[in-house]
Each structure stands twice: as C-alpha cells, then as structure tokens.
C-alpha cells in the first residue's frame, strides 16, 4: 500500500500537479494553535449583556410573608391589579402568605424572543422566607444600555427555588422568564467609503474590540497579531491601512475588508478565534486588597516593597534592607529582611525571623503571617503604604 501511495505521488509530480501532505493541508497558520483566543481576552463593543428589573408578588407562603402593614398591603394590591388584573381590597390582606419582591434578570446579548432566562428575586419588606412560594406574572423592563422607557423585554413567573446556602429571603426561578423582545445590538459601524477590487465604492465597516482587562501591551499584541495573520491580512492585502489599530489601552478598532462581501459575521468570527501570545503582556496590576471585616488580604500582580523599617505592635520591627550593590571597597549589607524582637511567647529564644533577601511583598507576608496576628499584618501593610514603601495600589474594603 505504501508503494502504491509513493507511485501515485510520483505520477502527480511528473504531471506537474502539487502534492499536499496531511500536515500542510490545514489552512491553520503556524502558531495559530498556541496562545489565547481573542474572544477570551476581549468582547465586541455593542454586544453587551443587560439587566432587567421589576417588582412582583410571591404567593403561597406559609406564614413567612410580609407583615400586613399599610405600605406593604398598598403595594401588593397595586401590583396584583396592574399585573394580574386582580382587584383586591388591601384591608383584606391580613395573612402573611404573600411578599413583595424585586425581580432581576440578566439578558444576554443577542438573546432571541421566546427563549428562557433565569430570574433572581429578593424580598423588599420583612418577609422571613420565600420558601414554597410562587412568583406571579411580573413584567421586566429597563435594560441598562437603553433608556428605561417602560418597554417590557421579558415576563417572569414560576416557583421559587431556595438553595441550602442562600438567604431564605432570596431565591431563583430557573428559566422563569420568557424573552418578549430582542434587544438591538449595534456591533458593526460604518464610516466613510472604500474602493473594492472591482472599483466599486462601498461603506467602510469596522467593529471595536474591548479588552476585558485594559493593558497597552496586550492591546498592541492583539493588533500586531491581526495585522500579521495571513488569514486576516490576506483578505485585505491590497490596502495600505492596517486591519487593526489600537485606540487606547482597552480598545482596538478592526476594519472589515470591503472585499469580504456580505459575510462580515464570518470575518468577525475569524478574528475572535485568532490566538495571541499574551504571556507577560497582560499581567494583573500590582494591587493589595484588605478586608478589615474578615481580617484577610490578597495580592495581585508583582507587588514589591522598597527599603523600610516599620515598628509593629508587640515589640517587632519589620526590616526591608537596601538591596543596592555596595560600592567598591565596601562590605555588602547583611541586615536580614524580616521581623526582629518581639514580646510574644518564644521571642526570647528567637529574636529574628529571617527572610530571603527579597523585596517581594508576598514573601514578606508569608513570614509575617507565621508570627503576627492578622491585625498586626494588616497594620504593617498600611504602614508600608503610608511611608511610600509599598509599590502597589492599596484597596481597603
């Protein structure tokens, strides 16, 4: 069989026909299977999800609903009249079998009319639990990207589900809303005119990529990849302008070639599937987050600490030495990075907590956490920030 294949290949060569191997038959350019897809790094401008909202009534509660106050009864009666066409004297609402709730839902981009989405509900007044209740018909309005003009985009209703770890006054109605109106999205923009290969003038079309995490290096890497990818530039090789242009750290404008025909969606799909090597170009910003309520902290990016000496409660000192190289003839500084002193038990036997000669905050935090309580660690981080030794943004929650 192998000899037959070789014979056929030889015959094709003699006839002047190209021989394509299985490895080169794919139209996937080299390196295209490596890196991160653009669709995982950015989204299309204009293709945004939107929140819907509305007020509704949950019925069928076993004595865990709203107390029959004048305000709760008035609103419940008004909602029943408006949304269910039920006329009910508010004075007759005396049992805690209903609750006024806020209903919210996320309407994904391009969600078609007739499809279902989940809705979340939360009690507005003093209901104790929504377990066992049923949400009555509730119109949902007001996506965030358009004016709240009263347009109903979905209608919700159905049994309320309360999870084990969820607050009893909050719940979900799975698939509880039917989309009534498709929200219009404008992804492709037009600007000016360009000439096609046939000499025809057509409107210039483009779309904008919005980076999930704005970064100049990442934006530049994406634009460069699109401008050098043969699957992209091959379509627009006759034009002088680049296909992709960085607008700022978070936006890249991509021109749709005029000769691509009516399949603009196909071009966008091809761009989104293109892979980019962003290793080292999309590193998180150097930030330190402190949650004083839970006494926890977290670090993102490469956070460093400059030379510093911080006095900490309990008789400890945090020492960050100067790592600059000694001058000729000088001895290198041998002061250890870490905690010195201390009045806690065991401090007499262990006066110094040595740390490697480093200015990485993560390493310093690891050492402090072994000896100091959370309050003292947080105080030390704040002190480093206050004296300008913390080379990062500090966010206290």
Q: What is the pLDDT of residue 236?
A: 53
- At residue 167, the pLDDT reads 84
CA 14/CA 168 separation, integer angstroms: 79
122 within a domain of the structure (yes/no) = yes
Q: Identify whether the C-beta of residue 157 lies closer than 8 Å to the C-beta of residue 57.
A: no
Position with higher pLDDT, 95 vs 198? 95
Percent above pLDDT 90 for the chain: 39
Confidence of residue 336 (pLDDT cuts 50, 70, 90): very low
Q: How confident is the model at residue 333 (pLDDT cuts 50, 70, 90)?
A: very low
Please check the confidence at residue 327 and state whether its pLDDT lies above 60: no
**Of the ranges 72-81, 183-192, 304-313, which is most confident?**
72-81
Structure tokens at 232: 């992209």
- Asked whether residue 326 carries a pLDDT value surpassing 80, the answer given is no
With 0-12 / 13-18 / 19 or more C-beta atoms within 10 angstroms meaning exposed / middle / buried, residue 128 is middle
Could you tell me if residue 315 is inside a domain? yes
Count of domains in the chain?
Answer: 3
Q: Do 301 and 357 fall into the same domain?
A: yes
Domain end among 179, 197, 222: 179
pLDDT at 158: 96
Domain annotation covers residue 301 = yes
* C-alpha to C-alpha distance for 383 and 175, rounded to whole angstroms: 50
136 and 198 both lie in a single domain: no
What is the structure's pLDDT at 258?
A: 74
Which residue segment(s) compose the domain that 342 sits in?
287-326+333-396
For residue 9, the model assigns a pLDDT of: 38
Alpha helix stretches (DSSP H) within the chain: 2-14, 38-41, 70-84, 216-228, 230-233, 264-273, 361-371, 374-386
Query: Which residues contact residue 99 at a Cβ distance below 8 angstroms, ignoring those fewer than 6 apart?
Result: 57, 58, 61, 64, 65, 66, 123, 124, 125, 127, 130, 133
* Average of per-residue pLDDT across 232-257: 79
Structural domain includes residue 35: no
Q: Say whether pLDDT at 99 is over 60.
A: yes
Residue 150 within any structural domain of the chain: yes
- Using 50, 70 and 90 to split pLDDT, how confident is the model at 311? confident
pLDDT at 26 over 90: no
Residue at a domain's end among 179, 208, 232 = 179
Q: Are residues 308 and 392 in the same domain?
A: yes
- The pair phi, psi for residue 309, each rounded to 5°, is -135, 115
- Shared domain for 143 and 213, answered yes or no, is no
What is the mean predicted confidence (pLDDT) over 349-377?
71
Does residue 342 sit within a domain? yes
Beta-bridged to residue 338, according to DSSP, are: 319, 354
pTM, two decimals, is 0.65
Same domain, 172 and 196: no
Mean pLDDT confidence for 15-37: 49
- 255 and 345 inside one domain: no
Mean of per-residue pLDDT scores for the chain: 78
Residues 244, 130 within the same domain: no
Q: Between 278 and 185, where is the model more confident? A: 185
Residue at 256 is within a domain = yes
pLDDT band at 328 (very low <50, low <70, confident <90, very high): very low
pLDDT for position 253: 94
The SS3 call for residue 235 is coil
Least confident of 122-136, 217-231, 257-271, 383-397: 257-271
Query: Which has the higher per-residue pLDDT, 386 or 11?
Result: 386
Model confidence at 352: pLDDT above 50: no
- Looking at residue 269, what is its pLDDT? 93
Do residues 133 and 88 share a domain? Answer: yes
In this prediction, residue 84 carries a pLDDT of 87
- 152-207 tens-digit pLDDT: 999 999 999 997 666 899 999 999 999 999 888 889 988 766 555 555 655 778 99
Kindly state whether residues 155 and 264 are assigned to the same domain: no
Which DSSP category does 99 fall into? E
In a domain, 42, yes or no: no
Of 134 and 143, more confident: 134
What confidence category does residue 280 fall into, taking pLDDT thresholds of 50, 70 and 90? Answer: low
Domain boundary among the residues 179, 214, 244 is at 179
The pLDDT score that the predictor gives to residue 38 is: 94
Q: Examine the domain organization and report whether 174 and 75 are in the same domain.
A: yes
Give me the pLDDT at residue 11, please.
35
Q: Is the pLDDT of residue 21 over 50?
A: no
Give the pLDDT confidence score for residue 230 in this predicted structure.
81
> 79 and 124: one domain?
yes
User: Predicted confidence band at 351 (pLDDT cuts at 50, 70, 90)?
Assistant: very low
Question: Which residues does residue 100 pair with via DSSP β-bridges, in sequence order?
Answer: 57
Mean pLDDT for 107-122 is 94
- Are 246 and 305 in a shared domain? no
């Amino acid at each position: 069989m192998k000899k037959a294949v070789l014979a056929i290949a030889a015959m094709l060569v003699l006839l002047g026909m190209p021989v394509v191997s299985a490895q080169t038959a794919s139209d996937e350019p080299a390196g295209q299977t490596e890196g991160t897809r653009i669709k995982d790094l950015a989204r299309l401008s204009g293709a945004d999800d939107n929140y819907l909202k509305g007020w509704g009534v949950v019925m069928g509660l076993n004595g865990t609903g709203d107390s029959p106050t004048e305000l709760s009864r008035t609103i419940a009666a008004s909602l029943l009249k408006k949304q269910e066409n039920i006329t009910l004297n508010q004075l007759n609402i005396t049992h805690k079998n209903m609750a006024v709730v806020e209903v919210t839902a996320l309407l994904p981009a391009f969600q078609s009319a007739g499809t279902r989405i989940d809705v979340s509900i939360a009690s507005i007044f003093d209901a104790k639990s929504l377990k066992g209740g049923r949400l009555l018909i509730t119109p949902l309005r007001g996506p965030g990207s358009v004016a709240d003009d009263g347009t109903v985009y979905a209608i919700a209703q159905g049994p309320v589900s309360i999870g084990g770890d969820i607050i009893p006054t909050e719940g979900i109605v799975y698939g509880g809303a039917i989309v009534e109106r498709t929200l219009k999205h404008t992804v492709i923009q037009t600007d000016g005119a360009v000439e096609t290969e046939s000499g025809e003038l057509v409107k210039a079309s483009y779309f904008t990529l919005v980076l999930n995490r704005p970064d100049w290096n990442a934006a530049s890497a994406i634009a460069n990849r699109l401008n050098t990818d043969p699957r992209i530039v091959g379509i627009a090789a006759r034009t002088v302008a680049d296909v992709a242009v960085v607008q700022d750290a978070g936006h890249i404008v991509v021109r749709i070639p005029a000769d691509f025909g009516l399949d603009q969606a196909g071009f966008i799909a091809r761009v989104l599937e293109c892979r980019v090597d962003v290793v080292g170009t999309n590193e998180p910003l150097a930030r330190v987050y402190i949650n004083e309520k839970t006494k926890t902290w977290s670090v993102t990016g490469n956070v460093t600490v400059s030379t510093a000496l911080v006095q900490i409660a309990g008789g400890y000192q945090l020492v960050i030495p100067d790592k600059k190289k000694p001058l000729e003839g000088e001895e290198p500084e041998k002061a250890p990075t870490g905690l010195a002193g201390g009045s806690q038990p065991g401090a007499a036997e262990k006066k110094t907590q040595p740390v490697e000669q480093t200015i990485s905050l993560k390493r310093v935090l690891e050492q402090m956490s072994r000896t100091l309580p959370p309050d003292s660690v947080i105080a030390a981080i704040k002190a480093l920030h206050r004296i300008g030794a913390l080379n990062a943004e500090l966010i206290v929650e």
